[in-house]
């Protein structure tokens, strides 16, 4: 497996492979890989001739008071998992080679990026779309695989790809959970044993919301969200948001809404966890 540390190395590798007619699948990650990431690599492996995994804790998608500095890192373990899952190359640059000191260009999605995490983390999605555009231009993928845990990110990236005509097919990979129901996340490493046990409430309230919303439709949303918030707070979670939006537009659901994204961000201790589920309210 190749390991590239600079944009120029990766782009040269990608260009020569594209010119030789080989297809490329990219798995963009921030490292500290878990079974969720591995499932993305497995999917990428089935899609293309070459699989490139990027490992980059992207500073411009973190707010000034967020966890950039303490974000967990373990490159040796990451590289081992990438090898085991058949990646052909890992791209692991330092921030200094990714961003020039006078970098002044951003890619911004201005609609789907506004609610939910976009409202709570100003600038986050601008950082995401900017770095993903860079990674697309460096790895030149035919496919890029993103996990559905970051449901809003997936929507924003799909919109960016459509609007800017990137020649990339975005592949959505199912959210992977622990046996307890807790969604896999690199940030789970921050949780104490007690917090981890309490955080199981997130998948439980999402599971309970599904039948209630399927039965009650859009009108049931306010009551369902109230119950969810109550249960989360009872378990010691501090709510950042718990919302149900139209899953296509991320606008307030209305009579035409066919499917809902029920999404939440909740703190346990200092750790912010996100989770979500899709509910078809019209079938």
Instruction: Check the annotation: does 185 bind a ligand.
Output: yes
Residues near a copy of itself (CB under 8 A), total: 35
Stretch that binds a copy of itself, among 49-57, 131-139, 231-239, 267-275 (CB under 8 A): 131-139
Report phi then psi at 200, rounded to 5: -60, -25
How many Å separate Cα 117 from the centre of its chain? 11
> For 205-227, what is the HEC assignment?
HHHHHHHHHHHHHHHHHHHHHHH
Stretch that binds a copy of itself, among 60-68, 156-164, 185-193, 263-271 (CB under 8 A): 156-164
Q: Is 230 a catalytic residue?
A: no
Stretch that binds a copy of itself, among 82-90, 128-136, 221-229, 253-261 (CB under 8 A): 128-136
| Contacts by 190-195, CB closer than 8 A, 24 or more apart | 190/67, 190/70, 190/72, 190/269, 190/270, 190/271, 191/268, 191/269, 191/271, 192/269, 195/236, 195/268, 195/269, 195/271
Among 104, 179, 193, 254, binds a copy of itself (CB under 8 A): 104
Tokens of 68: 């950039």
Would you tell me how many other CB atoms lie within 10 Å of the CB of residue 144? 26
Would you tell me how many other CB atoms lie within 10 Å of the CB of residue 127? 19
Question: Which 8-state DSSP code applies to residue 200?
Answer: T
Nearer to a copy of itself, 254 or 283 (CB): 254
Instruction: Check the annotation: does 124 bind a ligand.
Output: no
Nearer to a copy of itself, 2 or 251 (CB): 251
| Least distance between a copy of itself and beta carbon 58 (Å) | 14
∠ CA 170-172-180, rounded to 5°:
155
| Least distance between a copy of itself and beta carbon 47 (Å) | 16
Q: Check binding of 47 to a copy of itself (CB under 8 A).
A: no
Q: Which residues are catalytic?
A: 37
Q: Annotated binding site for (R)-pantoate: which residue ranges?
A: 61, 153
Binding region for a copy of itself (CB under 8 A) = 7, 11, 15, 18-21, 99-100, 102-112, 129-130, 133-134, 137-138, 140, 159-160, 162-167
């Amino acid at each position: 497996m190749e390991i590239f540390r600079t944009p120029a190395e990766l782009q040269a590798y990608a260009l020569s492979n594209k010119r030789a007619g080989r297809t490329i699948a990219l798995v963009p990650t921030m490292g500290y890989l878990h079974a969720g990431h591995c499932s993305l690599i497995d999917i990428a492996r089935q899609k293309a001739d070459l699989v490139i995994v990027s490992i980059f804790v992207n500073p411009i998608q973190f707010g000034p008071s967020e966890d950039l500095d303490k974000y967990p890192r373990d490159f040796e373990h990451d590289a081992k998992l990438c090898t085991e899952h058949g990646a052909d190359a890992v791209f692991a640059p330092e921030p200094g080679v990714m961003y020039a000191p006078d970098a002044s260009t951003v890619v911004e999605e201005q609609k789907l990026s506004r609610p939910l995490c976009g409202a709570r983390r100003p600038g986050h999605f601008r950082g995401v779309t900017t770095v993903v555009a860079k990674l697309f231009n460096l790895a030149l993928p035919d496919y890029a695989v993103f996990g559905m845990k970051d449901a809003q990110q997936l929507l924003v990236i799909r919109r960016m790809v459509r609007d800017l005509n990137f020649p990339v097919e975005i592949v959505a990979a199912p959210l992977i959970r622990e046996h307890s129901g807790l969604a896999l996340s690199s940030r789970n490493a921050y949780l104490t044993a007690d917090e981890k046990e309490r955080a199981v409430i997130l998948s439980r309230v999402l599971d309970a919301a599904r039948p209630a919303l399927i039965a009650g439709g859009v009108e049931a949303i306010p009551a369902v969200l109230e119950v969810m918030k109550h249960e989360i707070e009872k378990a010691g979670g501090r709510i950042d948001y718990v919302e149900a939006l139209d899953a296509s537009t991320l606008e307030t659901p209305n009579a035409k809404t066919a499917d809902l994204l029920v999404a939440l961000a909740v703190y346990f201790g200092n750790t912010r966890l996100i989770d979500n589920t899709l509910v078809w309210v019209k079938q």
